[in-house]
Amino acid sequence: MLRQLLLTVSDVSRYFVSTVLQFQIYRGMCRAAGQYDVNDPRKPLHKCDVYRHPEAGNLLKQIMSKGASQPWQETLEEALGEGRLDGSALREYFAPLEEWLRLENLRTNEYVGWNYDGDYCKRSIETANLQVFGGYYNDANHQQQYLHFMKLLLSHLFIFMVCNVILK
């Protein structure tokens, strides 16, 4: 179980890094293609289309051609002028959605977050007629569900922590 959890943490870390890099490289490709300009509201990142733009393809080719011959930080620095992992491209891409959600939550008076309402979990367990053995519910698929839950939880926590560190 511990080995699976450690592998899960490793997988989640790789997934997180690859997702942030994906958006960072995408932003670089959009800049190279002239499809994105941070100072031009008519060219936002989320509307960038690099299809049939050889400049974008050449940038990707430059990055991919290095393979594992040098650290990824050096490859990123050479190609994009950014030598470290940066979550700002991901935030820029989803900025319109984030703004819409913020305004929609204000409009509908939604509360974002968690409200503690006492022993909700205890009442839910009793209502579902479940018994708790050693901290686990008596569910046959619990181990798989637990690992899936841990993957999701760790990935979201990791993304939240890194984005907060990067953006501060």
CA 24 to chain centre: 12
Q: What is the pLDDT of residue 116?
A: 55
In angstroms, the CA 13 to CA 151 distance is: 10
Q: β-pairing, 136-137 with 132-133? A: antiparallel
pLDDT score of 111 = 77
The residue type of 79 is A
The whole-number pLDDT of residue 53 equals: 96
pLDDT at 16: 87
- Determine the Cα–Cα distance for residues 44 and 36; give it in Å rounded to an integer: 6
Asked whether the beta carbons of 8 and 154 are under 8 A apart, the reply is yes
Q: How do residues 37-85 score in pLDDT, each as one tens digit?
A: 999 999 999 999 999 999 999 999 999 999 989 999 999 999 999 999 9
Q: Does the annotation place 14 within a ligand binding site?
A: yes
Residue 10: pLDDT above 60?
yes
Quick one: average pLDDT of 97-113?
88
Tell me how far apart the alpha carbons of residues 162 and 159 are, in angstroms, rounded to a whole number: 5
Extract the tokens encoding 142.
């619990």
The three-state secondary structure class of 38 is coil
pTM higher than 0.75 for the full model? no
**Neighbour count for residue 11 (Cβ, 10 Å):** 13
